[in-house]
Amino acid sequence: MSIQKKRIIISVLVIFVILLIDQGLKIWVKTHMLLGEDSYLHWASWNIPWMRLHFVENPGMAFGFSFPGIWGKLFLSLFRIILVVILIIILVLNADKYRLGFTIFLSIIIAGALGNLIDSAFYGLIFSESPYFQPGMSPAHFVPFGQGYAPFLMGKVVDMLYFPLCNCHFPSWVPFWGGRDFLFFRPIFNIADSSIFIGVLGLFIFKNKLEYNGKVSDHSRADEGA
Catalytic residues: 159, 193
- When computed from its CA atoms, the radius of gyration of the chain, rounded to whole angstroms, is 21
- Structural contact between residues 76 and 67, judged by C-beta atoms closer than 8 angstroms: yes
d(Cα 56, Cα 69) in Å, to the nearest integer? Answer: 18
DSSP string, the chain: --HHHHHHHHHHHHHHHHHHHHHHHHHHHHHH--BT-EEEEEETTEEEEEEEEEEEEESSSGGG----HHHHHHHHHHHHHHHHHHHHHHHHHHTTTB-HHHHHHHHHHHHHHHHHHHIIIIIHHHBPPPPBS-TT-----B-STT-SSS-TT-PPEEEEEE---EEEE--TTSTTTTT-EEEET--EE-HHHHHHHHHHHHHHHTHHHHBPPTT--HHHHHHTT-
Q: For helices 100-118 and 69-94, give the axis angle rounded to 10 degrees.
A: 150
